[in-house]
Structure 1
């Protein structure tokens, strides 16, 4: 009997099965597709912050409007707007010719009294000598002593007048009371000024205060060490400090409570500038879920969690409760636990109970991001 080669026999068997299937009218079942590869994130607790953003205003801790102490015409302006000045730097000079003349007159009067005092003393010395020799009476002695006393009193009075005129003359040069930055110069040479005329301002910008008004309900959670952060337009922290002042009462009209923090100005901020400010009310550890991993249906958020069933890795849709949204991540308040693996890719193609395969290079975990509510609104004490 002739033997059939194994390969030929195998081909005949496959052909026979195909013929049988064709004759029976039932197509062969297709092979199951391989599990879809997905990226996952493993949940772990991270520090999250309860924050609120508000509009803050910057104030100088040392700022003053400069007024003259005398009346007169502006003779010279020594400062430019925005110029850095040191303590005692001349700012404005008021015409002092009249006061200078008065000082010269007072000094001349003082010189005259000094001459009279010297003459009275010499007269007293001669009278004392004559009195000892019996050539002068006691009345003449008393008269000479009285002239010396009167001349001394006149000398002291004239000296006081000179000192007064010198002090008054100094008022005609308005100087910076402390180091800072000069504001706009509001007068011009030739203007007449009085003691109520505002000349310019001097503000110290090295140390600034940021003032924020917060709702009274949130102010109850504030503590002396509460952190306040100054942000730029993109939300990046420019500088941070801690509160040193919380108003003891709310504004009766707005029901807002003023809080303040002070910081050393190393970033070029200016007094009276409006800035974004963020208060950190509290911090805690919580799970965070990337915003892209959240699936919503009828307003209910879900997460696709990887589970092991029958030796396979499948995704299960699980309802979750979300907290505040930070930067690209939600705070998870319920529905998930530490160690859960959540799919973060191909979410639209995944179905409940569908087998999946974790990619060999998982997606990086979401960084902890500040979370907060409210409307958008460093340390010196």
Structure 2
């Protein structure tokens, strides 16, 4: 019995001690003062803004392009044989004029074959002349003159006109007509042994040297026309849409030379590598300031006014067509209508006039961020002289502010 009472006393004592400790802990916690809660202060971002005001903006396009010839052709041999020298040096970079003999393809054999055929033709005509005197006396004189004017070293003279059907049958039966046209074909074939320049130009590559043997259709050289050049200017498709066929263009080089050109065509496809549309500009030949194919020039396209638009820096636009505007001291997102992209600026419309559009790049900000307008920039924009206007008074520093503070402290001391 005593053992049971003793256990009860021990249990009650432990519970009492634990309760006392818990109550003491709660008392001590209640005596501790709560730390003051710091109020969160929302920071302000200084931003530069411009009031939205639409005007007429003159926008130009300048881009570099490569000069190329309007004619770049392969010079091929139209006959087979050994390549012989003409009046022009058959070397890369050699220049020539229209009609110059570029090279010959061994014509001696073709010349002798043609002379032999003309001689045989004379033999045919000599055999029919007695028959013409008897059967066709009215045609005898014309064919006698035709026979007398044939020279084996010169082109065939024109054949007399044949109106009589019987005479035509007679001449056809003696191969007079067919042989005449066969000789004319051989004369054309002989001309193909002499290759002449189709335009004023230069060789940009030579595939065969003098003395080499070429087959019919073999490539001998590659040439370009140096009198008529055109400038190929790649533009973004959005910029190319502003260019029209026939527009005048000013061309400039690094040497401060300028030329006048004209847009002659626009490519109707986009380059798959550069995603650009090519504009072709024709340039006249200028002997005082000669141009050369392959050099790079800058094309300045005409200025076109854009009505009802505004220009801002490109880095102030994000997501391709969104900007921040400052309203009631906070940022708000707005979409704009992008009209044209320049190198560092952008022309747009779509915002209500009078809004304050942010004209600087903002990082780590979101819609609703508290902002304060950069007053120095704003005052320069609002002053009638721009940045050169008169100085503005700083509202944070007012005259006499130091004197008012001194008077207030003196009154407090007298009251004490």
Compute the TM-score of the two structures, normalised by the length of structure 1: 0.53
Contact 2:136 2:167 (C-alpha < 8 Å) held by counterparts: no
Match of 2:84 in 1: 75
Q: Deviations over 1:66-108 (max 9, x none)?
A: 2121111102232135455333221110101221222022112
Match of 1:273 in 2: 295
Structure of greater relative contact order (alpha carbons < 8 Å, 6+ residues apart): 1
Q: Secondary structure at the match of 1:212?
A: strand
Match of 1:180 in 2: 201
Question: How far 1:215 moved relative to its partner?
Answer: 1.1
Please tell me whether residue 239 in structure 1 is matched to residue 285 in structure 2.
Answer: no
Please tell me whether residue 155 in structure 1 is matched to residue 176 in structure 2.
Answer: yes
Q: 1:335 aligns with which of 381, 402, 408?
A: 381
Match of 2:103 in 1: 92
Match of 1:360 in 2: none
Contact 2:172 2:178 (C-alpha < 8 Å) held by counterparts: no
Q: Secondary structure at the match of 1:214?
A: strand
Q: 2:228 aligns with which of 189, 207, 211?
A: 207
Change (3 A) 1:48 1:320: farther
Q: Deviations over 1:184-237 (max 9, x none)?
A: 443222111123322234433233211111111222332345554333236x46
Match of 1:264 in 2: 284
Q: For structure 1, which runs of at least 5 residues remain unmatched after alignment?
A: 1-46, 127-144, 288-298, 301-316, 322-333, 344-349, 355-381
Match of 1:249 in 2: 269
Contact 2:205 2:223 (C-alpha < 8 Å) held by counterparts: no
Contact 2:69 2:293 (C-alpha < 8 Å) held by counterparts: yes
Change (3 A) 1:122 1:270: same
Match of 1:23 in 2: none
Which is strand-richer, 1 or 2? 1
Q: 1:319 aligns with which of 377, 400, 403?
A: 377
Match of 1:229 in 2: 250
Q: Deviations over 1:317-342 (max 9, x none)?
A: 84169xxxxxxxxxxxx915765572
Change (3 A) 1:146 1:264: closer
CA distance in 2, matches of 1:263, 1:146: 59
Count of residue pairs the alignment pairs up: 246
Compute the TM-score of the two structures, normalised by the length of structure 2: 0.49
Match of 1:325 in 2: none
CA distance in 1, matches of 2:305, 2:130: 86
Q: For structure 2, which runs of at least 5 residues remain unmatched after alignment?
A: 1-55, 138-165, 312-358, 361-374, 395-416
Question: How far 1:109 moved relative to its partner?
Answer: 1.2
Q: Secondary structure at the match of 2:211?
A: coil
Contact 2:261 2:284 (C-alpha < 8 Å) held by counterparts: no
Please tell me whether residue 170 in structure 1 is matched to residue 216 in structure 2.
Answer: no
Contact 1:214 1:258 (C-alpha < 8 Å) held by counterparts: yes
Contact 2:84 2:106 (C-alpha < 8 Å) held by counterparts: yes
CA distance in 2, matches of 1:338, 1:172: 80
CA distance in 2, matches of 1:211, 1:148: 61
Change (3 A) 1:148 1:108: farther
Match of 2:66 in 1: 57
CA distance in 2, matches of 1:265, 1:337: 52
CA distance in 2, matches of 1:122, 1:223: 72
Greater CA radius of gyration, 1 or 2? 2
Q: 2:117 aligns with which of 106, 115, 118?
A: 106
Contact 1:116 1:151 (C-alpha < 8 Å) held by counterparts: no
CA distance in 2, matches of 1:151, 1:120: 14
Change (3 A) 1:203 1:338: farther
CA distance in 1, matches of 2:263, 2:383: 35
Which is helix-richer, 1 or 2? 2
Q: How large is the Cα RMSD of the aligned pairs?
A: 4.1
Q: Secondary structure at the match of 2:228?
A: strand
